[in-house]
Structure 1
């Protein structure tokens, strides 16, 4: 029984080394961002990113006016909160799209690996 355990442990260690090497080769966030601009919803990403920057600019301006306004601070406070909520929603959608594109890419990688393994099994049989 220990020989099977040793073989399993050796195989898992080898898989762990391969996964670590694969994760080290990944570019991280820049690759995720670029993948989201290449996916099916790329037009929306090209719209949402500049819109997020514009909303951020207005949010900063609104917060500045909130702290420097005299009697109209309530108006600027509501504007600030509304713009913050807009920015959160836009960023949340962007991150979800990046995650979706990255996950789809990983699933395609797994499909290729499974196809390769099934081809090897077909040759061995």
Structure 2
């Protein structure tokens, strides 16, 4: 925490400080689970299910690639592994972007609240 954060916290009342405490950083698990709420929650649940399905498909393709005796079939099953794992990787990047969006949005809301509180405080003093 820097000097500005300390000065803002000292200027806020106990009620304001308690309200701002809700916007503090959360654990990574809480951040990840937070993607399943809100407007895009249903879409994110669907994306999570697709991620698990693609991982299952990759395992299935890998198993068949190792048990296949023909070279052509082994190559095709291996291509399935690669494509399924690419889908898993892209969906994981989607979730990381969702988490980043939620963190950024929370910080912007926190700053908006601090500016509004300071503006109200300045208005009350004048």
Q: State the TM-score bracket (shorter-chain normalisation).
A: 0.7 to 0.9
Structure that is richer in helix per residue: 1
- Residue 122 of structure 2 is matched in structure 1 by 121
Segments of 5+ residues of structure 1 without an aligned counterpart are: 1-9
CA spacing shift, 1:39–1:106, aligned 2, 3 Å: farther
Alignment match, 1:11: 3
Which residue is equivalent to 1:84?
85
Is the 8 Å Cα contact of residues 36 and 42 (structure 1) preserved in structure 2?
Answer: yes
What pairs up with 1:41-120 in 2 under 5 angstroms? 41-71=40-70, 72-120=73-121
CA deviations 1:39-70 (Å, max 9, x no partner) are 32111101001111111111112122222221
Instruction: Render the CA deviation track for 1:75-124: whole Å, top value 9, x for unaligned.
Output: 11111111111111111112211211222122111111111111111122
Q: Distance in 2 between matches of 1:47 and 1:36?
A: 12
Aligned residues: 110
What is the RMSD computed on CA atoms of the aligned residues?
2.5
1:12/1:119 Cα in 2 relative to 1: closer, same or farther (>3 Å)? closer
Provide the C-alpha distance between the structure 1 equivalents of 2:99 and 2:27, rounded to a whole number of angstroms: 11
> TM (normalized to structure 2)?
0.74
SS of 1:38's equivalent in the other structure is: coil
Point out where structure 2 has 5 or more consecutive residues left out of the alignment. Answer: 11-20
Bigger mean CA offset, 57-66 vs 26-35? 26-35
Contact 1:36 1:102 survives alignment (8 Å): no
Cα distance in 2 between the residues matched to 1:38 and 1:117: 31
